[in-house]
Amino acid sequence: MKLKLLTLVGLIFAVGCTTSTSPKMERKARFTPMGTLPSGSWSAANKVARDGTVVGIAESERGHEAVRWRNGKMESLGDAIGENFSSFSPGISANGQVTLIQGKRGSGNEVSIWTQEGEKSGLMGLGDLKGGSFNSEGHAISADGSVVVGQSESAAKAEAFIWTKEQGMKALGFLPGGVNSVAYEVSADGRVVAGNSETNEGTVAFVWTEAQGMQKLPNLPGGRVSLAVACAVSAGAVIMAGGSTSAQSGSVYEAVMWKDGNAVALGDLPGGQYYSIVYDISGDGSIAVGESSTGITRPQVKADAWQDFQDVEAFIWDANNGMRNLKSVLEKDHGLDLSGWILISGEGISEDGKTIVGWGINPDGKDEGWIVSLP
């Protein structure tokens, strides 16, 4: 704004000296609409945990609220914020125990973590960097929920941060010449952070570690301006992905993947202008999801307030097949009927690459989150 299928294995029944084996049932792809809150008309899914828990945002009678979806049921987390009921959830830990919540706090914004262990749950605000107006925005959380990254107002300006319970919120600084930076993703172990920063050359993607600080990631060649962002990091931080201007895209993003210090262009979907961006990748970096311009004509919806382009559709990418329209893959390769649906953006993907979440426009013309389960 990133459900698992059960396999029925063959069971062996021993009766005397004879055995019989039931045949294996092939898993099939599944598309599940996320639904809405009872008093709302729209929703969007952002990320997914290992156990299939999905987090995102949904409209309610009080505004829009952070929500959690699991086992086919949507649960509002809006009351936990305590103010304004204007919140959303940009992420969840891989173990599903810690949910990242962005909400209002007084005149500013504050990122919080909502933790559940068994039947107990609790909310903790993470504060902000000192020196600027009160404001913090969380974008990603580590696999165990112990590390959060994002952006906060500091004395220097808007600055990327990393938060841990032991050290609190720490500023990550800027690349040379920059006065603005933001952290969009963190590795599973919480040691590698990715995002973008202003520089003397423009806005570029960065990778940050405690040992080396903030380092520039290369842009794709040929862009009319310098503009890049890293939105996704593989579990081992070997691969990163996001968007960069290129010779093909000019002054907007083309989906890019960084590996071994090199930027690799991922292309775009046919139709529309040349624009694409990766929002998430699987744990090993072999599968990417995001959005790309296709020139599609569609009704305007409330979630367009967060969209830079209104003619985009969700894509799935892998090295063997390249970038493909996600809806087309589900219909042609997996036999699903998605009549009336427009899948706008793939926002998150599970570590194993089997579950994809995002949002789109349903057959009733409303924006709604969705969950795709792949075999």
The closest alpha carbon to 112, from 97, 104, 101, belongs to 101
b/e map 31-43, b = 16+ CB within 10 Å: bbebbbbeebebb
- 103/126 Cα distance (integer angstroms): 11
Provide the pLDDT for residue 19: 30
b/e map 271-289, b = 16+ CB within 10 Å: ebebbbbbbbbbbebebbb
Provide the pLDDT for residue 8: 22
For residues 110 and 101, the answer to whether their CB atoms sit within 8 Å is no
For residues 154 and 143, the answer to whether their CB atoms sit within 8 Å is no
- 250/204 Cα distance (integer angstroms): 15
Provide the pLDDT for residue 3: 28
Tokens linked to 248: 């093909």
CA angle 342/87/360 to nearest 5° reads 0
Tokens linked to 272: 């529309």
Residues (pLDDT < 70) of the chain are 1-26, 78-85, 106-107, 117-120, 302-309
Domain boundaries, the chain: 29-373
Provide the pLDDT for residue 14: 26
For residues 336 and 268, the answer to whether their CB atoms sit within 8 Å is no
Q: Which residues contact 238 (CB under 8 A, 6 or more apart)?
A: 259, 285
Q: What is the pTM of this model?
A: 0.90
Tell me the residue type at 77: L
User: Three-class SS string for the chain?
Assistant: CCCCCCCCCCCEEEECCEEEECCCCCCCCEEEECCCCCCCCCEEEEEECCCCCEEEEEEECCEEEEEEEECCEEEECHHHHCCCCEEEEEEECCCCCEEEEEEEECCEEEEEEEEEECCEEEEEECCCCCEEEEEEEEEEECCCCCEEEEEEEECCCEEEEEEECCCEEEEEECCCCCCCEEEEEECCCCCCEEEEEEECCEEEEEEEECCCEEEECCCCCCCCCCEEEEEEECCCCCEEEEEECCCCCCCCCEEEEEECCEEEECCCCCCCCCCEEEEEECCCCCEEEEEEECCCCCCCCHHHHHCCCCCEEEEEEECCCEEEEHHHHHHHHCCCCCCCCEEEEEEEECCCCCEEEEEEECCCCCEEEEEEECC
CA 193 to the chain's CA centroid: 15
Provide the pLDDT for residue 21: 40
CA dihedral sign of residues 301, 307, 312, 314: negative
What is the phi/psi pair of residue 80, to 5°? -65, -30
Q: Which residue has the tokens 């913090």?
A: 136
Tokens linked to 63: 């505004």
CB-CB neighbours of 224 under 10 Å: 12
CA dihedral sign of residues 155, 158, 162, 163: positive
Tell me the residue type at 332: K
Tokens linked to 306: 């967060």
Provide the pLDDT for residue 235: 93
Provide the pLDDT for residue 304: 64
For residues 83 and 105, the answer to whether their CB atoms sit within 8 Å is yes
- 319/323 Cα distance (integer angstroms): 9
CATH class of the 29-373 domain in this structure = mainly beta
Provide the pLDDT for residue 23: 45
